[in-house]
Amino acid sequence: MKTVDPFKNLRQSAGALPSTPGVYLMRDAGGKILYIGKAKSLRKRVRSYFKIPAPIPKVAVLMRQVRAIDHIDTPTEMDALLLEAHLVRKCQPKYNQELKDDKSFPLLKITREKFPRLCVTRQKTDRKADYYGPYTDAKLLRQAADLLHGLFPIRKCQTLPKTACLYYHLKQCIAPCIQPEVKPEYDRLIREIKRFLGARKKSFAEYLEERMEKASRELRFEDAQFFKEQLEALSKLKRKRFLPKNPGQGISLSATLELKQRLKLSRIPERIVCFDVSNVQGEEAVASKVSFYRELPDKFGYRRYKIKGVSGINDYAMIAEALTRMLRAIKEGREDFAPDLIMIDGGRGHLNTAAKALVREGMESMELIAIAKQFEWVHALKWKDPLVIPSDSPALYLLKKIRDEAHRFAITYHRKLKSRSLERSMLDDIPGIGERRKKILLRHFNSIDEIRKAGIDELCAVPGIERGTAARIYAFFHPA
């Protein structure tokens, strides 16, 4: 008798989740939220609930009632932690009871002193203080507290010293200990921290950007400048915390914020992919896809496509084939993410071709642009004329960097295939060397040059190459 999988539909839903940080919400048949959790990888975490038997009885009881799973993407696991606590506090799910009641879970605390402090605690002993949480991960919570301290220069010391400490000289504290006149500015910093923690629907960057834009619309330019500076500080902190140590490898995150504004995108384009093609007279045609995450290369997202369905010189068709293969991989779960922005190295014609591929795959809602190398103009479907971004713009610098990386990656792959083709064609001229022996020789020696340097005894050591064949190979490269 065939076993019925009670979780078949839910497994499919879990398989479609991104492998990125976020919060997941499990609902019953009536849509009521039963459980809220956070994850570093949404897909991996949610899939773990379908293990049979369940790791603990509570999970089995929960999963018998779950009928749908929603999720909310977050830029970082830290943002997921803060959002999880906010949603649990707001929705009070039945199976998060231990999170609501257990006093051992860490909390964020803002004291009620003249110059309040932000700290992590596990006790609610001070009735005058403001508490936020509880949170499920103490380590991540401390990182979040450190990030808030880096963005908002409030005091870190338990008691106010009589002289300014190191944090003041590092510009990480406005030193109320020696400058009581900073009280209005200090109170403003505390209000912003409370506002952010009390409305956990956005990431750090999205919250600051929204506040900056609102202040600018209301002509509160001093406030807008404050939030702009916090965004810049956040960019620096993220580079220190998440990105490679080589200072030449990073760009300020202000580039993606600028892209969002200039391209009229609905969200910050943290994940950007770019396609390019390379061929010589239509031979050994290849396409490349490079992936950038938070403005740095994400090598795990790089892909090479050997063009299969296009003959002759047809860059448009090659772009369409490569893009279609990525889109189908996303739909089938073979890609870990859907990009926030797709770039094509080319002009309006390349853009239109790519747009048709999106429509054919039912993914026309994805953001798409093309950048032409001749004038560095940016083409998008939403505009009739190309967008001209100033040459000194961080956004244009980022687009050019991504485009050039895609070109480099495509050229490298094309040259590799071309080299293999030339090597094989040279071996074709040796009597007795067929396709099987060509593969064996190239696998063993890696290149024609190494085969040329090999002696007869070395050639005989290759499986499938007897002495007579070895002598013919040697004679071919060393004619008398």
Distances in whole angstroms, Cα of residue 411 to Cα of each of 44, 272, 278, 325: 35, 20, 6, 20
Domains assigned to the chain: 8-101 (3.40.1440.10), 107-242 (no CATH), 260-416 (3.30.420.340), 428-477 (1.10.150.20)
Phi, psi of 85 (to 5 degrees): -60, -40
Find out whether 108 and 197 touch, Cβ atoms under 8 Å. yes
Half-sphere exposure (Cβ direction) of 368: Cα atoms closer than 13 Å: 25
| DSSP, residue by residue, 333-379 | T-SS---SEEEEES-HHHHHHHHHHHHHTT-TTS-EEEEETTTTEEE
| Per-residue tokens: 38 | 């956070």
Instruction: State how far the alpha carbon of 289 is from the alpha carbons of 221, 357, 400, in Å.
Output: 41, 15, 15
Distance CA 236, CA 227 (A): 14
Smallest CA-to-CA distance from 452 within 468, 469, 476 is with 476
Helix and strand counts by DSSP (H, E) for the chain: 18, 13
CA 327 to chain centre: 17
Four-residue CA torsion sign, 403, 405, 406, 412: positive
End-to-end CA distance of the chain: 75
Tokens 């600028």 correspond to 258
Produce one character per residue of 206-216: b if its CB has 16 or more CB atoms within 10 Å, e if not.
bbbbebbeebe
In the block, residue with structure tokens 């830290």: 78
pLDDT at 461: 85
Q: Please tell me the distance from the alpha carbon of residue 147 to that of residue 143, in angstroms, as a whole number.
A: 6
Q: What is the pLDDT of residue 5?
A: 62
pTM: 0.41
What pLDDT, on a 0 to 100 scale, did the predictor assign at position 239?
A: 43
Q: What pLDDT is recorded for position 328?
A: 92
- State the pLDDT at residue 441: 81
Return the residue matching tokens 């400048």. Answer: 225
Q: Look at residue 282 in the predicted model and tell me its pLDDT.
A: 45
Interatomic CA distance for residues 123 and 106, integer angstroms: 8
- Specify the pLDDT at position 418: 52
What are the backbone angles phi and psi of residue 87, rounded to the nearest 5°?
-70, -35
Phi/psi for 312 (5° steps) reads 80, -170
Task: Give pLDDT, residue 419.
Answer: 53
Q: Walk along the chain (480 residues) and give the pLDDT tens digit of each residue.
A: 455 566 778 888 888 888 888 899 998 888 888 899 998 889 888 888 887 666 566 777 888 888 888 888 887 787 788 788 878 878 888 887 654 444 457 888 999 999 999 988 888 888 888 888 777 777 777 877 887 887 788 898 888 888 887 778 777 788 888 888 989 889 988 988 887 777 555 566 676 777 777 777 777 777 777 777 766 666 554 444 443 333 333 334 678 888 999 999 988 898 999 999 886 544 567 888 999 987 888 877 888 888 887 877 788 999 999 999 999 988 888 887 899 999 999 999 999 999 999 999 999 999 999 998 778 899 999 998 999 998 888 889 899 999 988 888 877 764 665 555 544 557 777 887 887 887 788 777 766 778 888 888 888 888 888 888 888 888 888 886
- Placement of tokens 């301290």 in the chain: 149
For the chain, the C-alpha Rg in angstroms (whole number) is 29
Nearest to 208 by CA among 150, 167, 138, 140: 150
Q: What is the pLDDT of residue 358?
A: 95
Predicted pLDDT at 238: 46
Report which secondary-structure segment, H or E, holds 317.
helix 315-331
Answer whether 9's CB lies under 8 Å from 50's CB.
no
Bridge partners (DSSP) of residue 39 are: 22
